[in-house]
């Protein structure tokens, strides 16, 4: 008498044998599983030339993104400067024979404070003035012996438009040695410089993009020469030039996207790193806060990152479009 | 279907290599195109599949004067012609299936629509077990059958074959000829360029003989 375990073993073996017989009796099916390649790109996706192009596009995109980031940084820093500087004016009181300097300062402060739209008035003390002059005159000088003008720093209220001409007139009438500097000339020069820097950056960006386009033209022509036999076959099976150029466009769009994403990604990582390292950079190079004073904090805002992302899309689109135009022109010239 | 009237062809400023060709290819007809090497067989085939335009004369294909057609219209006409090359011209990085499906992909058909059609044809030409193989690993005969499958997948009205049996043994050549005959019976006009006399002797068909650039038809 077979045990329960043995009976189960026999039943299982019978089931397996039945399944095998069933399988063998079925007509042989062709494997149409999903791992089979059914619609590979018509153009070979991977080639040495393709990898080289990805590398060059990545380098070009990195340079373009760094230029773009620098332009955004300069523009933002200059904008912040201009806002800060244009909210401040300086009243200078030159020493005049026969007049009490301290009294002139107090009178000027009173006139400025009486003007609507003024947020803060600060007359620099003799000690503060001496400290300002230290880099040129050294320490230990008594300003009483020198005809050094006195300075009053005036901060304008936000969104206020004080009547500076009227204030200037009142000051010069009451205090003969007073003059008002609203930094207009300086702000104007800075604005011109900023525009020049931005224009220069954009020109560099344009040159980098132009170089990328030229490179893609050569790469496309190279790819067309390499894949001439495939293009011929496509022609013979009835492909229109539009279809052939779309294949190249797709191929180069992928290469361009890959390269631009690498370049843009590295640039973005660089800017993120700079935003963390920026505050410590001065200390690392042994400076005294000059870089931060010049550029503000080296932080690329959302507009900068959006610009880098836009650049990646632009480079990829330019790569695809350039290859399409090159293919259409080359095919047109061949026929 | 195809009509040549006083067709002449020259490359550049050289002398004419095809002169005063006058012939027709009728629907559902079968013909061999033959002649000695250098007689202009390949040039005539290139005219027939619209890779070249005649330098003189009138050539009409499916009722269209080819000299008046633009590139897109020529491409549309090529879709009605199947072409088998002596050197197969399969694309090496595409599988047999993808190579055969190429004419359908080119006209914008979706993969799920033509998948079973392509697999069925591959089985019919005996490549059912080589569907996912790449051309470099196919034998000469397998490549030839894949090339033929690619030429006929779009159900062409005219099939042009350039030395289709040039790279295969006599047994396979006979099988391929049977395949062409079957296709012809299903309504496709066939033009086989060959100088294989034995092949031509196996099937009684019209012979177009090119000699020194002129064509002589033997019905």
User: Who wins on pLDDT, A281 or B6?
Assistant: B6
Per cent of chain A over pLDDT 90 is: 13
A121 beta partners: A154
Question: Could you identify the residue written with the tokens 């020198």?
Answer: A146
- How many other CB atoms are found less than 10 A from the CB of residue A235? 24
User: Who wins on pLDDT, A223 or A18?
Assistant: A223
Write down the pLDDT at residue B86: 85
Give me chain A's average pLDDT, please: 79
- CA–CA gap between residue B30 and residue B188 (Å, rounded): 8
Residue B52 carries which DSSP code? S
Write down the pLDDT at residue A160: 75
Write down the pLDDT at residue B165: 81
CB contact under 8 A, B154 and A238: yes
Rounded to the nearest angstrom, the minimum Cα separation between A32 and chain B is: 9
Residues of chain A positioned with their CB less than 8 A from the CB of B106:
234, 237-239, 243
Residues of chain A positioned with their CB less than 8 A from the CB of B49:
236
Chain B residues with at least one Cβ partner in A under 8 Å: 49, 51, 71-72, 75-76, 78-79, 83, 89, 91, 93-95, 97-98, 101-103, 105-107, 111, 115, 119, 123, 128-129, 131-132, 150, 154
Closest CA to B168 of B148, B151, B143: B143
CB contact under 8 A, B115 and A233: no
Residues of chain B positioned with their CB less than 8 A from the CB of A230:
91
B47 beta partners: none
- Is the pLDDT reported for residue A8 higher than 60? no
Write down the pLDDT at residue A10: 46
Closest CA to B164 of B135, B137, B138, B143: B143
pTM over 0.80: no
Asked if residues A278 and A298 have their Cβ atoms less than 8 Å apart, the reply is: yes
**Which stretches of chain B are assigned E, i.e. beta strand?**
2-9, 18-25, 30-34, 56-61, 64-65, 81-84, 158-162, 189-193, 206-211, 214-218
Write down the pLDDT at residue B197: 86
pLDDT in tens, A38-89: 678 888 877 666 788 889 899 999 999 999 988 888 888 888 777 777 788 8
- CA–CA gap between residue B192 and residue B177 (Å, rounded): 10
User: Who wins on pLDDT, B210 or A13?
Assistant: B210
User: Who wins on pLDDT, B179 or B101?
Assistant: B101
Chain A residues with at least one Cβ partner in B under 8 Å: 30-32, 36-40, 42, 44, 229-230, 232-243, 332, 335
- How would residue B81 be classed by pLDDT, with cut points 50, 70 and 90? very high
Asked if residues A57 and A256 have their Cβ atoms less than 8 Å apart, the reply is: yes
Whole-angstrom Cα Rg for chain A: 37
- Is the pLDDT reported for residue A328 higher than 50? yes
Q: Which residues contact A183 (CB under 8 A, 6 or more apart)?
A: A85, A86, A88, A89, A90
Lowest-pLDDT choice from A55-59, A272-276, B127-131: A272-276
Write down the pLDDT at residue A82: 78
- Is the pLDDT reported for residue B192 higher than 90? yes
Fold of B2-218: Rossmann fold (3.40.50)
- How would residue B147 be classed by pLDDT, with cut points 50, 70 and 90? very high
- Is the pLDDT reported for residue B98 higher than 80? yes
- CA–CA gap between residue A147 and residue A135 (Å, rounded): 17
CB contact under 8 A, A239 and B75: yes
CB contact under 8 A, A335 and B71: yes
Asked if residues B54 and B47 have their Cβ atoms less than 8 Å apart, the reply is: yes
Question: What value does the mean pLDDT take over residues A183-207?
Answer: 87
Write down the pLDDT at residue A25: 43
Write down the pLDDT at residue A167: 87
Rounded to the nearest angstrom, the minimum Cα separation between A17 and chain B is: 27
**Structure tokens, A238:** 């009835």
- CA–CA gap between residue B207 and residue B216 (Å, rounded): 8
Residue B39: exposure state from Cβ atoms within 10 A (0-12, 13-18, ≥19):
buried
Write down the pLDDT at residue A19: 37
Question: What value does the mean pLDDT take over residues A141-150?
Answer: 76
User: Who wins on pLDDT, A295 or A302?
Assistant: A302
CB contact under 8 A, B89 and A229: yes
* CA B16 vs CA B3, B42, B194: distances in Å: 19, 14, 22
Mutate to test the interface with B, among A40, A45, A231, A236 (most CBs of B within 10 A): A236
Give SS3 for A188: helix
Asked if residues A187 and A86 have their Cβ atoms less than 8 Å apart, the reply is: yes
**Which stretches of chain A are assigned E, i.e. beta strand?**
88-93, 118-123, 150-156, 178-181
- How many other CB atoms are found less than 10 A from the CB of residue A28? 8
* Conformation bin of residue B213: beta by default, left when phi > 0, alpha when psi is -120 to 50: left
Question: What value does the mean pLDDT take over residues B106-123?
Answer: 92
Residue extents of the structural domains in chain B: 2-218
Asked if residues B182 and B9 have their Cβ atoms less than 8 Å apart, the reply is: no
Asked if residues B15 and B8 have their Cβ atoms less than 8 Å apart, the reply is: no
- Is the pLDDT reported for residue A329 higher than 60? yes
Q: Which residues contact B152 (CB under 8 A, 6 or more apart)?
A: B82, B121, B159, B183, B188
- How would residue A4 be classed by pLDDT, with cut points 50, 70 and 90? very low
**Structure tokens, A205:** 């960006």
ipTM, interface predicted TM-score of the complex: 0.89
Q: How far is CA B214 from the centre of its chain?
A: 21
**Structure tokens, A67:** 């230029």
**Structure tokens, B198:** 């034995």
Closest CA to B205 of B7, B28, B36, B85: B28
- CA–CA gap between residue B13 and residue B5 (Å, rounded): 22
* CA A273 vs CA A123, A133, A268, B115: distances in Å: 41, 38, 9, 51
* CA A297 vs CA A62, A207, A267, A268, A309: distances in Å: 22, 28, 17, 16, 22
Residue B168 carries which DSSP code? S
Write down the pLDDT at residue A147: 77
Q: Which residues contact A315 (CB under 8 A, 6 or more apart)?
A: A57, A60, A61, A64, A209, A212, A256, A259, A260, A263, A264
Give me chain B's average pLDDT, please: 91
User: Which residue from B minimizes the CA distance to A239?
Assistant: B106
DSSP line for A10-63: HHHHHHHHHHHHHHHHSPPPP---TTS-SS--SS-S--HHHHHHHHHHHHHHHH
Beta strands B206-211 and B214-218 are antiparallel
Write down the pLDDT at residue B101: 96
* CA A333 vs CA A118, A173, A275, B118: distances in Å: 72, 81, 52, 35
Q: What is the largest CA-CA distance in chain B?
A: 51
């Amino acid at each position: 008498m077979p045990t329960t375990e043995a009976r189960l073993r026999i039943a299982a073996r019978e089931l397996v044998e039945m399944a095998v017989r069933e399988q063998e009796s079925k007509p042989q099916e062709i494997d149409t599983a999903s791992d089979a390649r059914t619609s590979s790109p018509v153009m070979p996706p991977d080639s040495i030339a393709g990898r080289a192009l990805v590398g060059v596009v990545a380098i070009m995109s990195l340079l373009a993104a760094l230029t773009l980031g620098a332009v955004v940084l300069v523009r933002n820093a200059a904008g912040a400067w201009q806002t800060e500087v244009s909210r401040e004016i300086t009243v200078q009181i030159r020493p005049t024979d026969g007049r009490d300097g301290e009294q002139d300062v107090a009178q000027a402060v009173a006139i400025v404070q009486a003007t609507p739209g003024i947020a803060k008035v600060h007359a620099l003390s003799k000690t503060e003035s001496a400290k300002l002059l230290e880099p040129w005159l050294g320490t230990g000088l008594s300003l009483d012996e020198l005809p050094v003008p006195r300075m009053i720093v005036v901060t304008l209220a936000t969104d206020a438009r004080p009547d500076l001409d009227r204030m200037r007139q009142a000051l010069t009438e009451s205090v003969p040695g007073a003059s008002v500097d609203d930094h207009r000339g300086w702000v104007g020069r800075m604005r011109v410089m900023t525009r020049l820097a931005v224009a220069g950056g954009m020109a560099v960006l344009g040159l980098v993009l132009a170089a990328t386009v030229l490179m893609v033209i050569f790469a496309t022509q190279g790819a067309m020469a390499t894949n001439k036999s495939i293009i011929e076959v496509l022609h013979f099976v009835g492909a229109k030039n539009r279809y052939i150029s779309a294949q190249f466009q797709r191929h180069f769009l992928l290469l361009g996207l890959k390269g631009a994403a690498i370049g843009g990604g590295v640039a973005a990582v660089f800017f993120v790193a700079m935003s963390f390292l920026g505050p410590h950079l001065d200390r690392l190079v042994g400076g005294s806060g000059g870089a931060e004073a010049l550029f503000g904090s080296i932080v690329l805002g959302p507009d900068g990152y959006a610009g880098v992302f836009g650049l990646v899309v632009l480079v990829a689109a330019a790569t695809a479009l350039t290859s399409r135009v090159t293919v259409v022109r080359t095919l047109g010239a061949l026929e | 279907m195809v009509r040549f009237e006083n067709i002449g062809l020259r490359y550049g400023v050289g002398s004419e290599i095809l002169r005063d060709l006058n012939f027709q290819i009728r629907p559902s007809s079968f013909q061999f195109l033959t002649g000695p090497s250098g007689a202009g067989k390949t040039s005539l085939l290139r005219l027939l599949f619209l890779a070249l335009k005649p330098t003189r004369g009138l050539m009409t294909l499916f009722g269209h004067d080819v000299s008046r057609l633009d590139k897109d219209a020529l491409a549309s006409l090529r879709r009605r012609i199947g072409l088998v090359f002596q050197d197969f011209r399969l694309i090496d990085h595409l599988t047999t299936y993808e190579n055969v499906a190429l004419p359908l992909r080119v006209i914008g058909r979706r993969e799920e629509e033509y998948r079973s059609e392509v697999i069925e044809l591959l089985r019919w030409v005996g490549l059912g077990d080589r569907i996912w193989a790449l051309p470099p690993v196919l034998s000469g005969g397998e490549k030839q059958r894949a090339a033929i499958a690619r030429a006929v997948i779009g159900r062409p009205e005219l099939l042009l074959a350039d030395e289709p049996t040039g790279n295969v043994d006599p047994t396979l050549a006979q099988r391929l000829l049977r395949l062409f005959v079957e296709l012809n019976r299903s309504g496709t006009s066939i033009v086989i360029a060959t100088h294989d006399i034995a092949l031509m002797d196996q099937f009684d068909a019209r012979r177009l003989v090119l000699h020194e650039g002129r064509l002589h038809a033997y019905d």
